[in-house]
Amino acid sequence: MNAGNLSETSRALSIPITTVKTWRDRYENDPIVAKYRNLKNEELADRFRVVAAMAIERLHSEIGLVKVDNLMLLAATGTDKQLLLTGQPTAITESTSAKQAESLVRLAKQLNQELTVDQAGVLLADSFKRGGIEPETDSVS
């Protein structure tokens, strides 16, 4: 995924780097981990997709026989991991900076300049980082 860059892994997964280091050190020589260490994201995503589908199928067929919470957790976790590994969002958020980005695009047009919403978003993110400010987001479910 990132050639062993712990800081990048920590950021990407929103997990403290100390936790990532602990996991790496604890499972470094584990034969099961070694087997899967070099799988590509797409391969892992496909496997998580299959696990989620199997859990959902079993949930439908055995809903009265098994503990639903366990299967729902398995299905949700598999889906979440598959989405993460394929770069898809796992949550939908609306950012106040999105409105600011659209305002920048309109301003650029008034100045006869080309600017996409994505470019404006990058400019805003960079300015937030330089100012040490995290953009506000409101979760939308």
Among candidate residues 66, 103, 65, 85, the one with its CA nearest the CA of residue 13:
85
How far CA 98 is from CA of 29, 45, 94, 134, in Å, comes to: 45, 29, 7, 13
pLDDT digits (tens, 9 = 90+) for 84-141: 877 777 776 555 567 777 887 888 788 777 878 888 777 777 666 665 555 554 444 4
pLDDT digits (tens, 9 = 90+) for 5-47: 888 888 888 888 898 889 888 887 888 777 776 666 678 778 8
Structural Rg of the chain based on CA atoms = 21
- For residues 128 and 7, what is the distance between their CA atoms, to the nearest angstrom? 20
pTM (global) more than 0.85: no
User: Rounded mean pLDDT of the chain?
Assistant: 75
**In the chain, what are the domain boundaries?**
6-85, 93-140
